[in-house]
Amino acid sequence: MGFPDTRFSVNLSILFTELPLRERPAAAAAAGFTAVELWWPWPDAPVPERAELDSLRTALEDAGTRLVGLNFYAGQLPGPDRGALSVPGALSRGFRANVPVAVDFARSLGCTSFNALYGNRVAGVPAAEQDALALSNLTLAARAVAAAGGTLLIEALNATESPACPIVSAPRAMEVVDAVNAATGLDNARFLMDLYHLSMNGEDLPEVIDRHTARTGHVQIADTPGRGAPGTGTLDFAALLDRLRKNGYAGWTGLEYRPDGATGDAAFAWLPRPLRAAR
């Protein structure tokens, strides 16, 4: 596979997990990557101790890795929560508390891209009530992100793995993007195009790329089925990433796959080393 025009980042929350979190930036750098992204690293702590934040910041800086994407607090990810901002109670309160902390941490590292995951539907709470809560929290997040010169990302998951998530298609995610932008007037909400999730939903990926690239703020990839590395499944990533480029996408493409037991450099055998560093 050849991807000379793609800027890759590696997600340290799903890759290099054989190592403690603080050691992963250096491992990514040793494998040739200069850009990384993260799910919120403390699933039980929307507001972790300052020492935890400082330790991770130091690890990223010492490794020479650039943070290019960060999830807001989303509960246990992966896990039964899979999102927080639309779930009444402790999860949504955690999301709101997390927003200024996450924005401050990311901004200190030059990161301006933030993924806000919708929560699962919960029993006993009308969908309309959850959606209203989600819009309120997304509006809060979009304004905080805008103050940092950043972009708020809305991602569609897949219905097979997240059957209780209401955002499981590109059109539905775009509805949320539009609603947030209309509520804030800031136009800083964008689509996170995860080709793995969209493929699992049976969507026509070339059509999604043609229709939504102009409003896409970030791309993530893993192969289907299995969420493995590119080349382990059925997706033609050379063609898909080339199509994104031809549609004008020049942002980051996050590697968010399960390495199937491979560790270190071996988890990236499909990607020539010269193409791993940010260009």
In 130-171, the DSSP E strands lie at 151-155
In 51-201, the DSSP E strands lie at 66-71, 113-115, 151-155, 189-194
- Chain centroid to CA 118: 12
Residue 47 to residue 43: CA distance in whole angstroms: 10
Helix H or strand E encompassing 206: helix 205-212
Nearest to 253 by CA among 266, 265, 263, 243: 243
Give the CB-side neighbour count of residue 85, counting CA atoms within 13 A: 26
> Which residues are known to be catalytic?
155, 256
N-to-C CA span, the chain:
18
Cis peptide before 88 (omega within 30 of 0): no
Nearest to 12 by CA among 192, 220, 256: 256
